């Protein structure tokens, strides 16, 4: 059965190289509570529904200890909501500015559409957040056929598979074998695997890599290759079927492998130049 639907993530995959907007907003929101987190700790749950992401961070032993020392009690639901309100405030302050397309997105999406694929999408952003991101991306030339947020599936976002299933309903897919999920976080991979579809990870500009566009461009060609390979290795450890550096390489893979049978059942080596 031929693949006909590609479901893409947003921040770190198609827009916002390095997935910078939510990372900075999480950091500031926790700093408001006098909780210090590293960027690596903040990125670990990336891709989840944002309020679930906050709960994951609050469950870290380090954070639980800090919270108890500061406030004399464990965090409660009201604290989660308070941090989330601050997170939203910081995120919306510069979300549009941090939702520009990644360098290859427009060209890659044109090629993928020319190959005849449906282009769906899932995200960890709420519908209100996605309205901002979508409009910025649309102005720059990218607009997928369908957008699903956790709000559309009763807040059962990643790693639940329901946003993928909602895309499949919209595109009237007959089988999981018609669908490929593409993303830049471990949560994306888990979402795809839980849905039973092929899961491809994008390394360059991913949240998992954790570098801004400026930081990445400052690397030598050899350093770029190394960080891409290290990021791919982590994705493979968490179940990715295979990895590509960017969306143009994804388009090449889709053009070369026209049916799901050619992709399933074997792990294709990372497609890096």
User: Domain range holding 169?
Assistant: 5-19+99-263
Q: Which of 94, 124, 143 is the last residue of a domain?
A: 94
Q: How far is the CA of 33 from the CAs of 68, 87, 104, 126, 180, in angstroms?
A: 12, 12, 38, 23, 40
Residues in Cβ contact with 102 at an 8 Å cutoff, skipping those fewer than 6 apart: 13, 14, 15, 16, 17, 205, 246, 247
Does residue 269 lie in a domain region?
A: no
CATH number where 61 lies: 1.10.150.240
| Annotation says 9 is catalytic | yes
d(C-alpha 150, C-alpha 147), whole Å: 10
Q: Which of 73, 94, 115 is the last residue of a domain?
A: 94
Residue-wise pLDDT tens digits, 36-78 = 999 999 999 998 989 999 999 999 999 999 999 999 999 999 9
Annotated binding site: 9, 11, 184
d(C-alpha 164, C-alpha 222), whole Å: 36
Does residue 187 lie in a domain region?
A: yes
Does residue 197 lie in a domain region?
A: yes
- Tell me: pLDDT of 133 over 70: yes
- Tell me: pLDDT of 81 over 80: yes
The structure's pTM equals: 0.88
Does residue 270 lie in a domain region?
A: no
Does residue 271 lie in a domain region?
A: no
Q: Which of 79, 94, 109 is the last residue of a domain?
A: 94
Annotated binding site for Mg(2+): 9, 11, 184
| Annotation says 50 is catalytic | yes
- Tell me: pLDDT of 273 over 80: no
**14/36 same-domain check:** no
**79/106 same-domain check:** no
The average pLDDT across 94-107 equals: 94
Counting the structural domains of the chain, the total is: 2
Q: Which of 112, 137, 120 is nearest to 253 (CA)?
A: 112
* Active-site option among 16, 27, 33, 50: 50
**74/11 same-domain check:** no
- Tell me: pLDDT of 257 over 90: no
d(C-alpha 217, C-alpha 178), whole Å: 36
């Amino acid at each position: 059965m031929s693949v006909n639907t590609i479901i893409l993530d947003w921040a770190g995959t198609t827009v916002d190289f390095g997935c910078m907007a939510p990372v900075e907003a999480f950091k500031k929101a926790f700093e408001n509570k006098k909780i210090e987190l590293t960027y690596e700790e903040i990125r670990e749950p990336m891709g989840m529904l944002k309020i679930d992401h906050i709960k994951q961070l609050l469950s870290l032993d380090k954070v639980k200890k800090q919270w108890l020392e500061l406030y004399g009690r464990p965090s409660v639901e009201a604290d989660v909501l308070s941090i989330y309100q601050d997170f939203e405030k910081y995120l919306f302050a510069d979300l549009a500015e941090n939702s520009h397309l990644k360098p290859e997105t427009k060209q890659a999406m044109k090629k993928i559409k020319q190959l005849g694929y449906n282009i769906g999408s899932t995200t960890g952003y709420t519908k209100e957040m996605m309205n901002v991101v979508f409009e910025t991306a649309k102005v720059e030339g990218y607009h997928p056929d369908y957008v699903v947020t956790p709000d559309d599936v009763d807040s059962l976002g990643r790693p639940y598979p329901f946003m993928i299933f909602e895309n499949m309903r919209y595109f009237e897919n007959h089988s999981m074998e018609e669908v490929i999920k593409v993303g830049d976080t471990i949560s994306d991979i888990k979402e795809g695997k839980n849905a039973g579809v092929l899961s491809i990870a994008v390394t360059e500009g991913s949240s998992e890599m954790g570098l801004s566009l400026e930081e990445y461009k400052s690397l030598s060609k050899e350093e770029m290759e190394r960080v891409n390979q290290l990021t791919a290795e982590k994705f493979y450890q968490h179940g990715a079927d295979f990895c590509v550096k960017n969306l143009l390489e994804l388009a090449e893979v889709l053009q070369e492998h026209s049916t799901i049978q050619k992709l399933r059942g074997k792990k294709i080596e990372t497609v890096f130049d």
